[in-house]
Structure 1
């Protein structure tokens, strides 16, 4: 296995007046080079926080991060500066993440200037033109500003900026959620082409299971900061063993009008992420919850080869 990133027992807590908010709680995964791991779940489940902690945009409370066999859990400022070349991020809000005072060429060229990767102005301009061509931006847009462009082009700028230093790993934080469906397909196809051509590795964060099915090799389902289910994309869309995953997939719209869709409605109150008790956090909304679910937190363990679920009664529910 050619492992690029290994995350073990990662935690991120925020201090509040009521106690510590468990945004990311004991998440572990391994990501192979050239592959995509999809992180899915409802808004507020900790997906974006996880991506930011992995990139050290936020400090972790505890846990281990290993990148290319190097422990980067607590890098020095100088080492973190070097790591930025190989670890980049595409942000969800393409407008807010771009400097409105900079034109397209300045935004894409800023990383090149910071890391001084070009020997002269001619090489600098040629590199910017190459990146713009790679992400599908016409050269005539070099002097355009973000507010003059549509969402699809702005997101292409963000992708171009992330590619400027030829990184190995990119965290994609819901990069297509704010775009029209037709533009979503263009951006996803672009990202897949770039992954194939440059051997890129993605951590793809989204709440849209249709999108994650299209681009991911493996999927990690999160619920209130913890892992609920983890397996390959193909396996997840055939067998869902966690009640929460079943509910998520039942909510995917179907294009076939003759298809009778059976939605699984989730009722009950959300567990508070502030100092949560040692219990299954999904239990108050689960149709299968029993006393044990409210007294102990289920571990994430395999119920079939390569398919891990955090549910005390996954085998019983699914007849395994």
Structure 2
């Protein structure tokens, strides 16, 4: 009887080891697949922006050509070279960023690898003239209840299993940021903006005041199905109606800039789909 029990126990232990190994392998494959999906989403968004920018520049050049009928062949050749140069310059902007930025982004989105050094690295790439600031990051301890609400809310997304998680920045008063860090986001944090009442975030860090200590929140949000809107189509005096077929709105900054200082505004309408990760301090 004891021999049979030991044999059964050994069989069960071996089976458990095999299942554990299979689980770890599946977990690693899912992490790799998630990284590929997230990268593809970022590429699509970047390509959409570049398509709009190129179309705008092309229309501007055509207008200039139509307004003048005295161009010589030499001038036409110069314009063609200018268009080619501009296109090459725009294509160079399509790269999602350098390797360090991608590593930092993926590490922050994966809870197990989330650390302050990666947060500082990510913010450094998202801040123009970052060398002028001392950046500090304080990790926020998210309680289990907030995490559970986040996970349960993912099931309500239109895209189903495609969470489209990304990193964004939230601005606000210092005291209010501390409250959010302690309690998480709630509907009381909703603001009225271009798309009505929701949580408004930014994709980059901008408008910091020099010689002044400032704080923002680095957050993880699940965007689900995204409605893409050009900022040029939005009038500040008009509040647009939210399209309920989408979970979030991404408002593209379509202004042509030489420093690639694009800032997209991101709006979500469920406070449970945002998790504060770090308090970022700039000195």
TM-score interval for Structure 1 and Structure 2 normalised by the shorter chain: under 0.3
Structure with bigger helix share is: 2
User: What TM-score does the superposition give when structure 1 sets the normalisation length?
Assistant: 0.21
User: What TM-score does the superposition give when structure 2 sets the normalisation length?
Assistant: 0.23
Structure with bigger strand share is: 1
Larger radius of gyration: 2
